[in-house]
Structure 1
């Protein structure tokens, strides 16, 4: 299925709670989150979707890890779906999300770089997003 705009993103992103911090160096295969395991795929976001993913799913977290994944090598395993992998309308105009269906293989071969983001003094994600603006590429 084509991406929502029919233009492939340069990167897709995986957000991980600080409670499940990825090891350094990254292994061949990272542990699978409970949400991903239950869903049957790895939930990813585009650069434009990351801010709302942070605000919606990580609002109670102080720190997250963000994995940047080059899109082209994983494209064959991506399905563009709504957040629940349903064909029905997406949540609040966010569009469809990239879901990685590759038997939960996400590790050093797929991830180009990792950043750790912390909430700012205002307890929001805006300062972290602003600091990562050049890294968070569409």
Structure 2
């Protein structure tokens, strides 16, 4: 990245609801556990993350994480193209290496996005919340 983002984002499927208030430690997905880190996205990467990994989800829980809170544990890495194919123009992805901890200390806010008419329509509505 040319400049550091202000926020990073973590998406959870409807089958893994995020409780409020956010606990000290949220459950970790199988993918994150197997990878040994928490997969995050920048605001620019979030739309395609939705389309590739949450295509058929009726809703997703989106955690907004202040970059400064996790900066020391972030590694910027290339995505594995065999999972969702190449994602040109999206750059490196932020991966959180902090012992798989994500909870109230890391999360700034939570949003619930509904996939009513496809993610394109939803993204237009939530754009003010999806900050760079």
Give TM-score, length-normalised by structure 1.
0.88
Shift of 1:91: 2.6
Deviations 1:23-73 (A, max 9, x none): 111110000000000000000000000000000000121110000000011
| Match of residue 77 from structure 2 | 81
| 8 Å contact kept, 1:80–1:97 | yes
Choose which of 108, 114, 125 in structure 2 pairs with 1:131: 125
Shift of 1:126: 1.3
| 8 Å contact kept, 1:79–1:99 | yes
Separation (CA, whole Å) in 1 of partners of 2:28 and 2:16: 10
Shift of 1:120: 2.4
Uncovered stretches (5+) of structure 2, i.e. residues with no partner: none
Separation (CA, whole Å) in 1 of partners of 2:61 and 2:75: 23
Uncovered stretches (5+) of structure 1, i.e. residues with no partner: 85-89
* 1:109 partner SS: coil
Residue 109 in 1 paired to residue 105 in 2? Answer: yes
Give TM-score, length-normalised by structure 2.
0.92
| Match of residue 13 from structure 1 | 9
Deviations 1:8-28 (A, max 9, x none): 100000000010001111110
| Poorly superposed stretches of 4+, deviation over 4 Å | none
Choose which of 49, 68, 72 in structure 2 pairs with 1:72: 68
| Match of residue 86 from structure 2 | 91
